[in-house]
Structure 1
Amino acid sequence: MKLTKTLTAMGAVVSAAALLSACGSGTVGQSGSGNSAQPVGGKKLALIPGVQAEPFYISLQCGAEAEAKKLGYELTTQAPQKFDAPLQTQLVNALGANPPAALLIAPTDDTAMLAPIQQVKARGTKIVEVDTALKDTGVAVSSISSDNAAGGKLAAQTMAKLAGGKSGSVLVLDTIAGTSTTAARAKGFEDELKNTPNLKSIGIQFTQNEPEQAAAKVTAALSSTPDLIGVFATNLNTGEGAATGLRNAGKVGAVNLIGFDASPSEVEGLKNGQYQALIAQDPASIGTQGVQQAVAAIEGKAVTRNLTAQLHSITKDDMDTNSQYFYKQSC
């Protein structure tokens, strides 16, 4: 009786070993070979842009979604209601429970967003920066944006052409201190304007990305600077606020306004004379390249650390021939 029980137990062990052999030696979360774990997030990508419902980021999302689908990946997008580091941090932290294979993100602050993004990276997620970037260059595998300093330089050159040799002062409106992209635009503009002796900058002023503050800054500048000849607004909200300030003062067209980006409202403003020029980016291309670099990193292929998208100066005279650069409101 005791011998029978022993033989039965030995048979069970042998059967279990055979079953394991037939199924492969891997454990849960590993491939059949048992040599390596499956990548975190599988085929899932996440995109967290700077703010929701902004045409630039919608256009970027459209490019990213199309490329993800083409490459066999699933992309989900969540954006903060405002261009705000604490709000964006909440979205990044929410990824911790179910981290994606890669996170495409436009950091709303080049320093404050470091810690939450690092936490996601620590879980195995590949980080790709789109549009904006962290000061710490060791976090992301790739960073894709416009050459924002070159965009500012292009805006200054355009301002010089619009001035036509007339002398005057120029106001630069930036968004929030610590935003890498707009800071580069403002600096590029300031540096290039020094090559135009008839134009002088009255400095960079911050608007906290609020149109109302931009309008107020323009109103104050018009009062304190009688020779104000131009305003360079580094993004959509500052541009719309600046246009409001000029309109309220009856200075539309008298003061040259150059905006950055080509949202539907800015394009309409260019058409009706509220803007004299727009510096358009190619956000769809940024989204496309962002997904390409993310997938390459996930699949162990070569990744390019820094990529740039083209910029275009558009005036009312050539806006029809540059309509392909106008931003979308939906995909």
Structure 2
Amino acid sequence: MKKKFSSGIAIIFLIAAALLVFSGLPGCSNYAQTIITMSTAIESTTATTMVPAAPATEETAQEEKIPANFELVYIPKIDVPWFDVVQKGIEQCARDYGFKVTVTAPPKLDPAIQAQIVLDLIGKTADAVIVCPIEEASMDIALQKASSAGIMTFGSEGSNLKNISYDFESISNESFGQAIMQSAIKYSGNSGSYAVSVGFLSSAAQNEWADAEIALQKQSAPGMVNILGYSKGTDRFEDNEDQAIALTKITEIITANPDLKLIVGNSMTSGPAAGEAIKKQKLKGKLFYVGTGLPLTAGGYIKDNIIQEAFFWDPYLTGYSLGFMAFKAWEGKPLIKGDAVTLPGGAKLAGYETLTEGTGTAGAKVIYGNAAVSVNKENMDSWYKKFEEYGWPQF
């Protein structure tokens, strides 16, 4: 039997009617109408996977908290390889613990379509939904309706969501940025000048990584100097998540600062761009790069000793943790600070051994893992093998 999940705090939802929250979308004043009147025939155009649990008997089906009675829906941003691996992790968790999971991805990056997928769950059999929101403010409208209908609501990469029980993150932005800068300090030898990149100055997570990086450098590596200074906002450069733009800007910075020793990158495009700039200007061994990246984007440059280390989090373990989080909440044992994500035998999942708590910008609770990992020259082959096992070769 499905029961309404409540934090015990009444949720007040405010809509700023004149706010345009996503390029090409109508304002919030008519957005609510858009998601209500949109055709519900989305299922045929989305990628949906069902992992059935072991069937319950008629006798046990009437009992509460039987794992086979729990139905979870995960809604990623879009059907791309990263989320395909997240899906495999959450499906494995469902098999391990005996519950049901459906993964439904919007066919394109459209917040209205993603919100409609949530609304279509109302009145059906889902007990809980996890959303990795394309756009958080508008998704809250749909999540409020789902929550009012008795569906437990959770976020993933959605720390700005309001109408959720809580959000689950594989890393805290501060700890992720600190991990990157600790590596950068090692490669720079605690000396020399560096520059920090972000995709956009409006990218909340990336700028929090950059804040943590610069703060740690000032505190722990006084021999290093940020060539862009230390005024918030101008102490980093934008690359617009575009490799060509990133290459142009990095080249300009190198030209203006021939003694530049290190680039600290926070967008996925900065690593390949730095690799190309270092290669073209024959700066291998003189200019280093540490930042975000995957084996797919950074591996070739790391193999050739052009860039040094790329940080990310394992999407498979993210998926497993999301499934575990929702399942435990449904059992009435929501995760709290100090808990761990565990396998059925009790073994703790790497990076999720001791969870921490925080508060999102909208006031909802956020649960954090400490799951930052990196690819470097020493472990590159093992990461290639692991991603190949996930079904996403990184060559």
Same fold by TM-score, threshold 0.5 exceeded?
yes
Aligned equivalents of 1:216, 1:112: Cα separation in 2: 35
1:290 to partner: Cα distance: 0.8
For residues 292 and 208 of structure 2, the distance between their equivalents in structure 1, rounded to whole angstroms, comes to: 12
1:298 aligns to what? 330
Whole-Å separation in 1 of the counterparts to 2:136 and 2:214: 21
Q: In 2 relative to 1, CA 268–292 (structure 1 residues): closer, same or farther, beyond 3 Å?
A: same
RMSD: 3.6
- Aligned counterpart in structure 2 of residue 63 of structure 1, from 70, 82, 89: 89
**Cα deviation code 1:79-121 (max 9, x no counterpart):** 5656xxxx24422323312344322223345556444443443
* Number of the residue aligned with 1:46: 73
Cα-to-partner distance string for 1:152-204 (whole Å, 9 max, x where unaligned): 11211111111124412222234562443x23322211111113122222222
SS of the residue corresponding to residue 317 of structure 1 reads: coil
Residue 378 of structure 2 corresponds to residue 317 of structure 1: yes
Q: Say if 1:105 and 1:128, in contact at 8 Å, map to a contact too.
A: yes
**d(CA) in 1 for partners of 2:139, 2:248:** 29
Counterpart in the other structure of 2:184: 159
- Is 1:191 equivalent to 2:215 in the alignment? yes
Contact 1:264/1:326 (<8 A) preserved: no
Q: How many Å separate the matches in 1 of 2:107 and 2:258?
A: 39
2:198 aligns with one of 166, 169, 173 = 173
Q: Quickly say closer, same or farther: Cα 1:204–1:223, change in 2 above 3 A.
A: same
Q: Is the 8 A contact 1:207 1:214 kept in 2?
A: yes
* Aligned mate of 2:307, from 275, 283, 286: 275
CA offset digits 1:198-247 (Å, max 9, x no partner): 22222223334333333333233223333322222224344334434444
Deviation, 1:288, is 1.0
Question: 1 CA distance for matches of 2:320 and 2:377?
Answer: 28
CA distance in 2, matches of 1:288, 1:314: 21
Percent of aligned pairs sharing the same letter: 17
CA contact (8 A) 2:288 2:308 kept: yes
Q: Deviations over 1:255-290 (max 9, x none)?
A: 211132434332333222342012242332221111
CA distance in 1, matches of 2:318, 2:328: 15
User: 2: CA distance between counterparts of 1:151 and 1:191?
Assistant: 13
Give TM-score scaled by structure 2 length.
0.61
Name the CA shift for 1:267/1:177 in 2 (closer, same or farther; >3 Å).
Answer: same
* In structure 2, C-alpha distance between the alignment counterparts of 1:200 and 1:109, rounded to whole Å: 36
Rate the CA distance shift 1:74–1:154 in 2: closer, same or farther, 3 A: closer
**Structure 2 CA distance for aligned equivalents of residues 52 and 216 of structure 1:** 31
**Which of 94, 105, 128 is the matching residue for 2:117?**
94
The residue type paired with residue 64 of structure 1 is I
State the match for 1:232 in structure 2. Answer: 264
2:295/2:384 contact within 8 Å kept: no
What is residue 104 of structure 1 aligned with on the other side?
A: 130
Moved more, 110-119 or 70-79: 110-119
Q: Which residue of structure 1 aligns with residue 100 of structure 2? A: 73
TM-score normalized by the length of structure 1:
0.72
Greater shift, 201-210 or 160-169, is seen at: 201-210
Distance 2:138 2:271 in 1: 25
Larger Rg belongs to: 1
Matched, 1:134 2:195: no
Q: 1:161 to 1:112 in 2, by over 3 A?
A: farther
Q: Distance in 1 between matches of 2:295 and 2:191?
A: 29
Where in structure 1 do 4 or more consecutive aligned residues deviate above 6 Å? 321-325
Could you list the runs of 5+ residues in structure 2 that have no partner in the other structure?
1-58, 229-234, 337-365
**Is 2:279 the counterpart of 1:256?**
no
Choose 239-248 or 288-297, whichever is displaced more.
239-248
The answer (yes or no) to whether the contact 1:253–1:274 under 8 Å persists in 2 is yes
Is the contact between residue 51 and residue 80 of structure 1 (CA under 8 Å) also seen in structure 2?
yes
- SS of structure 1 residue aligned to 2:130: strand
Distance in 1 separating the partners of 2:140 and 2:199? 22
Closer/same/farther in 2, CA of residues 112 and 94 from structure 1, 3 Å limit: closer
Counterparts in 2 of 1:157 and 1:324: CA distance versus 1, 3 Å: farther
Q: Which stretch has the larger CA shift, 87-96 or 317-326?
A: 317-326
- Name structure 1 gaps, 5 residues minimum: 1-31
Secondary structure of 1:134's counterpart equals coil
Map of 1:18-37 to 2, 5 A cutoff? none
